[in-house]
A and B are shown apart, each in its own frame.
Chain A
Amino acid sequence: MTDLTLAPNIAGPDDFYAELLAAHEGLTKAESDALNARLILILANHVGDREALRRALAAARHPGTDEA
């Protein structure tokens, strides 16, 4: 069974958050949506593990339930 990491795992959380927002700066809503879609696909491929991805999808869809 693959665990999905839901404990803090990013060093420098404030910096990362700022980078995430900066990536969207100056973009229209449509461009931002497209960026997010690309980002999800890139990260999903990086994770690769289908079970971890399933758990991530469940955690995003229903935060706080046991499925993740």
Chain B
Amino acid sequence: MTKIFEMPLYPYTRTADQDAAAPVRHTAMIVGAGPVGLAAAIDLAEQGVPVVVLDDNDRVSFGSRAICFAKRQLEILDRLGCGQPMVDKGVVWNLGKVFFGDRRVYDFNLLPEEGHHRPAFINLQQYHLEDRLVARVRDLQRQGAEIELRGGNRVQAVDDLGDRVRLGIDTPEGPYTVETDWLIACDGAGSPIRSMLDLDFVGRVFEDNFLIADVVMEAEFPTERWFWFDPPFNPGQSALLHKQPDGVWRIDLQLGWDIDKEEEKTPERVIPRLRQMLGDEVAFELEWVSIYTFQCRRMERFRHNRVIFAGDSAHQVSPFGARGANSGIQDADNLAWKLGLVIQGRAPEGLLDSYDAERIAAADENILNSTRSTDFITPKSEISRLFRDAVLDLSEHYDFARPLVNSGRLSLPSVYDGSPLNADDALEGGPARTRPGAPCPDAPAGEGYLLDRLGGAFTILTLDAEAPERVSEAGIDAARVALSAGDDPTGALAERYLGAARSAIYLIRPDQHVAGRWPAYDEARIRAAIRRATGQE
């Protein structure tokens, strides 16, 4: 059977740009058709912005790579019109087991909060995610959106011309040149665009190697996340077993620093290792094997005039906590509406600087979390290992030690506290989780869910409060979504958006983050908040 990642999904075809006498000028181009580039492209296309995605390849990622997608990312994908197919395909899990040595020290249940449309996490191979994003691109094309995917297009040169960017692109039929008003670089941790522009990418290197294997097996393992510290089958190191769709299991084995990577990748080395872990009686087949090392680092700034970096090209984290692809999708979510408004002349270029402010803070949070997980999983000093082992020993017997066990703090969206786009928090008694800068938590609302009502434009959410049906300010239209605490009999809506307040008005950004909130409608303050949230103040 041909695997999905072996099929060309967007094969190279010649475009008119290659026969133009002078370089054709585009509005927005994206380099890299991974999860981040595709999400950004779909978002721009939905706003009516023409966009071209360039990729040197012509198919989805090889191997599973990112496998764990969190609720917030599924909500973003819902907004982009392709959340459901991801959830339909993905594996939902809540249970985890932690092993230390030959002992199972404890189990945990993530116990997702009630009243959300989407589960806390799904496991889904990156290639399945990309496949469904490409399908969404094709849908948009059929509906007439100007969104184009160019496979076999490798960017060779990038020049910042001040008011535009010039790209030299190589193809199977030779090179051509194009220009674009804006370029989003989603070309991965090894970003060629970043190198061509000679930009920094500094951080901490972790001296460790991990073997990552996708194994197809018909095994009785339940749908749980199993994590081993210092297991008998991989002494002194760690191991992870996680279920993906299609009977594929992700196995991560820490190998240490001084190894021969090429040798360790061979089936002769990998299969005995896995056999030790899985037992002799389990039949399995290797789908994909890779060895990775990682760094925790970020660019000093993500926006460089008209070239904007998003995802791994801008920041890199360890895989513990699933913060790579998840944070990249949030980058796209944060950037696309801002760039859309700037391109449409409805917001000043300065709005894009808030992308730097908000997403650099988020990257730092992700780097902090993933560095801490890495320090716990792979202790680098004697004392660090001593405390790590003490925590694990105690966790078997005492509840108090379990929150200290860190096998990855799974991705949660950042709150943009201190963002220049936030209005003051004027809702006395309002819940902290919906303060300005926070991503809107989902809640039941009438027959459906709140986030499905918000969509992807500025919204005025009213809870038991009066407001006009539409406010237009400085080129921005904000439509009202009117709800009442009674729309959710479970009380979650009131708990998440009212707290101790009796009524509330929220101004919500297109990326579903709170821009400001008030106890009642105040025309002047709402208008000021719209200007502020779009960089017009």
Contacts and interface: CB of A to CB of B under 8 A. Distances in A.
A41 B404 contact: yes
Interface stretch (B137-145, B223-231, B383-391, B519-527): B383-391
Contacts of A33: 386
Contacts of A37: 386-387, 389-390
A42 interface: yes
- B390, B393, B394, B400 interface centre (most CB from chain A within 10 Å): B390
A60 interface: no
Nearest to B393: A38
B394 A42 contact: yes
Contacts of B7: none
A38 B390 contact: yes
Interface residues of A, number: 8
A40 B390 CA distance: 10
Contact of A34 (B389, B398, B400, B404): B389
B391 A41 contact: yes
A29 to B, nearest CB: 11
Contact of A45 (B389, B393, B400): B400
A2 B386 CA distance: 29
B401 interface: yes
Tier of interface size on chain B: 10 to 19
Contacts of B401: 41, 45
B389 A41 contact: no
B393 A34 contact: yes
A30 to B, nearest CB: 9
Interface in A9-68: 33-34, 37-38, 40-42, 45
B386 A41 contact: no
* Consensus secondary structure, chain A interface: helix
Contacts of B400: 42, 45
A40 B398 CA distance: 14
Interface string B359-401: 0000000000000000000000000001101110110001011
Contacts of B393: 34, 38
Contacts of B387: 37, 40-41
A34 B401 CA distance: 15
A45 B387 CA distance: 14
B465 to A, nearest CB: 38
B301 to A, nearest CB: 33
A50 to B, nearest CB: 14
A45 B320 CA distance: 25
Contacts of B391: 41
Nearest to B385: A37
B386 A34 contact: yes
A35 to B, nearest CB: 9
Nearest to A46: B400
Interface string B109-142: 0000000000000000000000000000000000
Contacts of B389: 34, 37
Contacts of B394: 38, 41-42
Nearest to B403: A45
14 contacts: A34-B389, A34-B390, A37-B386, A37-B390, A38-B390, A38-B393, A38-B394, A40-B387, A40-B390, A41-B390, A41-B401, A41-B404, A42-B394, A42-B398
Interface of B: 386-387, 389-391, 393-394, 398, 400-401, 404
Given A38-B390, A41-B390, 13 more contacts: A33-B386, A34-B386, A34-B389, A34-B393, A37-B386, A37-B387, A38-B393, A41-B394, A41-B401, A41-B404, A42-B400, A45-B400, A45-B401
Interface of A: 33-34, 37-38, 40-42, 45
